[in-house]
Structure 1
């Protein structure tokens, strides 16, 4: 076999390998895209069960019939520290009107959360997402992140970043049953 034929065979093999890899990747992406799809406004909120700081279990679907202000946060997050007292102020008003706050701490040990709660006493449940599974399920990359869930369990708003107290009040008003 001549050098020219060997080179041609090599180039064809490389091209076929690249095409086969592209086909395999396309099939993989299509079969897993639902699993990796970003959560959007109008979607049913993915259900989860997490434990709070007192050991009580909270299942999101148990809150159907109420509006849920679902907030993801961490103790190292300065915007989280700023908005949590404002959330607490509004919670005192809206909890009797059918709006709940579920504040999900992402991946931190209990002693850090407890230290935070000593500085910032809060009336709403603080849930622990120790493995960050719920954070991943909701496709959260920036903290704080807030999802509004209406009484039917559908997401009506997604906000990333610090919220003002006026914005929190408006958001709670929008999911009030």
Structure 2
């Protein structure tokens, strides 16, 4: 009986040790998932917006690009969208573009969301290729891209209107 208990305890201890080791490994390597580094040229892509227009990232060279990845189900995304829209209206004539990349939702869901907040910047639908190329996880995620097409900052998590304004100032050509 004692030998059986010892074996069970040893197995439980081994499983707990393996779980701790995996957790430590996952936490130390999570920052390496990002595929686009600050200072690098942003990977080019072509996505279609809600009006059927194609947008190629490289066509925006010479302008600053506020590239935001989001989802309608994401509460922080929902909170920052009106702020992004307000700042887009202020900065679009100064050479700053907002490209909001929705990650794989239906056009119906995205249209309802866009209409609810009266969003005026291009909303692009990604089936996962661009999200994968940029190594996006979790949402929201934003890349600030300068007029040469280089990534100058990568932001994850919810932004305030003041931080969005500051970021747009940073990429204004």
Partner of 2:88: 91
Rounded to whole Å, the distance in 1 between the matches of 2:35 and 2:44 is 15
* Secondary structure of the corresponding residue to residue 42 of structure 1: coil
Equivalent in 150, 154, 159 of residue 158 of structure 1: 154
Partner of 1:149: 145
Equivalent in 39, 42, 45 of residue 45 of structure 1: 42
* Secondary structure of the corresponding residue to residue 50 of structure 1: strand
Partner of 2:115: 118
Equivalent in 73, 98, 102 of residue 101 of structure 1: 98
Partner of 1:66: 63
* Secondary structure of the corresponding residue to residue 68 of structure 1: strand
| Structure 1 unmatched runs, 5+ | 1-35
State the 1:134 CA deviation: 0.3
Larger radius of gyration: 1
For residues 66-98 of structure 1, give each alpha carbon's deviation from its aligned partner in whole angstroms, at most 9, with x where no partner exists.
000000000000000000000000011100000
Q: Classify 1:64/1:119 alpha carbon distance in 2 versus 1 (closer, same or farther; 3 Å).
A: same
Partner of 1:3: none
* Secondary structure of the corresponding residue to residue 78 of structure 2: helix
State the 1:37 CA deviation: 7.0
* Secondary structure of the corresponding residue to residue 139 of structure 2: coil
Task: Report the aligned-residue RMSD.
Answer: 1.0
Aligned residues: 141
For residues 110-153 of structure 1, give each alpha carbon's deviation from its aligned partner in whole angstroms, at most 9, with x where no partner exists.
11111111211111000010x21100000001000000000000
For residues 34-93 of structure 1, give each alpha carbon's deviation from its aligned partner in whole angstroms, at most 9, with x where no partner exists.
xx8721100100000000000000000000000000000000000000000000000111
Corresponding position: 1:133 with 2:123: no
Moved over 4 A (4+): none
Rounded to whole Å, the distance in 1 between the matches of 2:115 and 2:166 is 28
